[in-house]
Amino acid sequence: GAWDMFRAYQDMREANYRDSDKYFHARGNYDAAQRGPGGAWAAKVISDAREKWQSDVSGRGAEDTRADQEANAWGRSGGDPNRY
């Protein structure tokens, strides 16, 4: 699961496309969760840690964190990342 999250992050950085981050949040969580309960667990831990760091350090704001977490949960629950 951790590798899926890292790959989605790398793809997001490479795409460098404005306002596409929610898609990559959902995709990383989706891919990790497809590996089973361990993958879903890893995706949740990584997502929660990243969002905590982002809200504490980067100052992007609560609204962005909420939207990221929504995309994370959507992907983990099996939702299609293309929604974003």
* pLDDT tens digits along 25-82: 999 999 999 999 999 999 999 999 999 888 777 767 788 899 999 999 999 999 999 9
CA distance 29 to 47: 8
pTM: 0.88
Cβ count near 7 (within 10 Å): 15
Confidence of residue 3 (pLDDT cuts 50, 70, 90): very high
Which is nearest to 22 in space by CA: 47, 39, 3?
47
Q: Which CATH architecture describes the domain 1-83?
A: Orthogonal Bundle (1.10)
